[in-house]
Structures are given as C-alpha cells and as structure tokens.
C-alpha cells in the first residue's frame, strides 16, 4: 500500500468522528461544548503529521505512526458513539469525550499546578535515589568487605516494592510530601544500587589489569575508572528507573498528598467527577510519554556509541 493511499485511509475515522461530534443528534443530556474535543483532534492530527514527516526524513517505514493514530481515532469514535450519540455506556461512570476534553479548557491552571507538583516531587526523589545508588554501589562493588555486607541486603530489598512500607513511612516522616519523596527514593535506590554492584563486579579483567599498573588509590579507581565504566549502563537503564519512579510517584500521591497528578485523579473519583478523573489519566499518559521521549533523546546523546 502506498503512503498516499494509507494516508487517505487513516483519515476516514477522524472525518467520521468530526461528523458525529458536529452533526449527529445527541442522546445523552448534559454534554459540554465540543470545542475542546475538536481542538484535541487537531493536536492529534498535528502530532501525527510531525511523526510522519520525521519518519519520511529518516527513510523509515511510516506504518507505526499510521497504525497508532488509527487506533486513537477508532477509540475516540467508539467512545463518542457509545456515550454522546447512542447513550449506551453508563451515564456517570463513562463520561462523554466532550466533557472530558472540556476539562482542559475549564481547569488548565489546576492541571498545570498538579503537573508541576508531581514533577517537582519526581525530580527530588529520582535524583536523590539515583545519585545515592550509583555512589554507594561503586564503593560496595569495589571494596570486598563492603560488598560482602551490602550485596545480600540489596538482593533482598530490591524486589520489594517501596509502596509496601509506604503506610509506615507516612507515620515516620513529618509530612505526607516527605513520605512520598522517600517512597520514590527507595523505589529507585535498591534496584539501581544492586545493578551498580553487579556492573562493577562484572568489569572486564583487562581493564582492571591496566588500571592496577598505575597503582591508583581507591578514590581514583572508583571515580576515574569504575564510574566511567558503569555510567553508560546507568544511562541505558534510565527509562526503566523513570518508569519505576512514576509508579511510586502516582501511588505516593494517593497516601494523603494535597497536590499532584495522582491526587487530582483520586480526588476526582472521590467526588464522583469521572470526567475530571479521565482527563487526569490522559494528562498522566501525556507526561509519561514526554518524559520517555526526553530520556530517549538524552540516551542517544549521552551514549551515542551504543
């Protein structure tokens, strides 16, 4: 199938969707204006065209953007049919897409404040957990006595989700926000700490032999030899670490936080405002996608030789 024909077929569903939104008689009462939904459709179309142009410049197949956007249009069209047009879905639990997307017009500042709160908490917890894990992992991996002490503990703690002890951390810490930050720190620290120890112990013997010829002290060995060796592996695992951090973040914000993306969704569900809850879930998905894209670009820049 040629790119032009595929492009035409991809746009059948959005035309149907726009027709349903603008011209189909609505069976569900209480629908909000459709302007925000149409604006969101325009944003989706622009992102699709940008992805298509990028694939074309890179001489890569354009099937992935076409398949992805087709699924998005199919979901939106089915959602519009089941709620606004045919009124088949539950009137409270399944909000209409007009109501969900109108939340972005109605509460932009509220959503932005919650996004900023979550990203601030994520940055604090992730940076502290990652830095401590790499630093202590280097020492534990290089010094045999320290490794014999720390490795069994890390091997036990790494598989245990930090959320298991989160209720206890809430009791220990002076505030819910500090407890949430500590949950993220622990969720990142133990897997990264264990992985750093394993990377240090698996270093090639030839590198160690060459380094020992210079007779470096422990500090020089750790920061000048081992750190550059393990850093590409740490950067390669950033996406997994960030995903873990986001899981910890969203759970931590459910424990009693007063701001954040997870708090916004939970608070909306508590008050049965499911249009806002679905809008919050969409925001979380967008933030996760943007963060993953930024990490991917950073990885390509920082470890170009991989």
DSSP string for residues in the chain:
--HHHHHHHHTHHHHHHHHHHHHSPP-SSSPPPSHHHHHHHHHHHHHHHHHHHHHHHTT--SHHHHHHHHHHHHHHHHHHIIIIIS--S-TTTS--HHHHHHHHHH-HHHHHHHHHHHHHHHHHHHHHHHHHHHHHHHHHHHSHHHHHHHHHHHHHHTTS-GGGGHHHHHHHSSSHHHHHHHHHHHHHHHHHHHHHHHHHHT--HHHHHHHHTT---HHHIIIIIIHHHHHHHHHHTHHHHHHHHHHHHHHHTTSS-SSSHHHHHHHHHHTT-HHHHHHHHHHHHHHHHHHHHHHHHHHHHHTTT-
Domain CATH code at residue 125: 1.10.3720.10
Domain count, the chain: 2
Chosen domain end from 76, 106, 136: 106
Question: Tokens 């380094």 correspond to what residue?
Answer: 211
Q: Are residues 51 and 126 in the same domain?
A: no
Alpha-carbon distance of 244 to 234, in angstroms, equals: 14
Q: Are residues 64 and 190 in the same domain?
A: no
Chosen domain end from 52, 81, 106: 106
Q: Are residues 102 and 127 in the same domain?
A: no
Q: Are residues 275 and 150 in the same domain?
A: yes
Q: Are residues 85 and 136 in the same domain?
A: no
- The residues of the chain scoring below 50 in pLDDT are none
Cα–Cα separations (whole angstroms), residue 131 to 39, 124, 190, 195, 263: 41, 11, 12, 13, 27
Q: Are residues 262 and 154 in the same domain?
A: yes
Alpha-carbon distance of 233 to 129, in angstroms, equals: 16
Q: Are residues 70 and 204 in the same domain?
A: no
The confidence score (pLDDT) of residue 62 equals 61
Q: Are residues 121 and 45 in the same domain?
A: no
Task: Answer whether 194's CB lies under 8 Å from 186's CB.
Answer: no
Q: Are residues 226 and 90 in the same domain?
A: no
Q: Calculate ∠ Cα 283-247-292, nearest 5°.
A: 60
Q: Are residues 43 and 127 in the same domain?
A: no
What is the residue-averaged pLDDT of the chain?
87
Chosen domain end from 84, 106, 128: 106
The confidence score (pLDDT) of residue 235 equals 87
Q: Which residue range(s) make up the domain with 102? A: 3-106
Q: Are residues 259 and 196 in the same domain?
A: yes
Residue 40: both structure tokens together: 């969101």
Question: Tokens 């035309």 correspond to what residue?
Answer: 15
Alpha-carbon distance of 173 to 183, in angstroms, equals: 11
Q: How many residues does the structure list for the chain? A: 306
Residue 246 has a CB neighbour count (10 Å cut-off) of: 22
Q: Are residues 33 and 54 in the same domain?
A: yes
Task: Answer whether 105's CB lies under 8 Å from 36's CB.
Answer: yes
């Amino acid at each position: 199938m040629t790119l032009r024909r595929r492009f035409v077929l991809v746009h059948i569903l959005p035309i149907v969707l726009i027709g349903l939104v603008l011209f189909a008689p609505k069976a569900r009462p209480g629908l909000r204006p459709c302007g925000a939904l149409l604006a969101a459709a325009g944003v989706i179309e622009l992102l699709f065209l940008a992805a298509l142009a990028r694939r074309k410049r890179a001489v890569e197949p354009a099937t992935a953007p076409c398949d992805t956007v087709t699924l998005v249009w199919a979901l939106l069209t089915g959602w519009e049919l089941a709620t606004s047009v045919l009124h088949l879905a539950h009137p409270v639990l399944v909000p209409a897409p007009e109501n969900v997307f109108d939340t972005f017009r109605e509460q932009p500042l509220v959503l932005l404040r919650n996004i900023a709160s979550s990203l601030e908490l994520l940055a604090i917890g992730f940076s502290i957990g990652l830095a401590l894990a790499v630093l202590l992992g280097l020492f534990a991996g290089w010094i045999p006595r320290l490794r014999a002490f720390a490795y069994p503990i890390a091997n036990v703690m790494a598989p245990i989700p930090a959320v298991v002890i989160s209720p206890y951390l809430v009791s220990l810490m002076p505030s819910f926000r500090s407890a949430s930050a500590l949950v993220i720190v622990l969720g990142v620290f133990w897997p990264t700490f264990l992985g750093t120890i394993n990377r240090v112990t698996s270093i090639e013997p030839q590198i160690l032999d060459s380094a020992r010829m210079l007779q470096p002290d422990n500090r020089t060995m750790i920061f000048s030899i081992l750190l550059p060796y393990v850093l590409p592996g740490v950067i390669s695992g950033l996406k997994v670490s960030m995903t873990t951090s986001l899981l910890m973040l969203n759970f931590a914000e459910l424990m009693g936080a007063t701001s954040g993306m997870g708090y916004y969704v939970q608070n909306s569900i508590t008050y049965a405002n499911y249009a806002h809850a679905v809008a919050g879930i969409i925001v979380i998905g967008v933030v996760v996608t943007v963060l993953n894209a930024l990490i991917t670009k950073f990885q390509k820049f920082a470890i170009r030789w991989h």
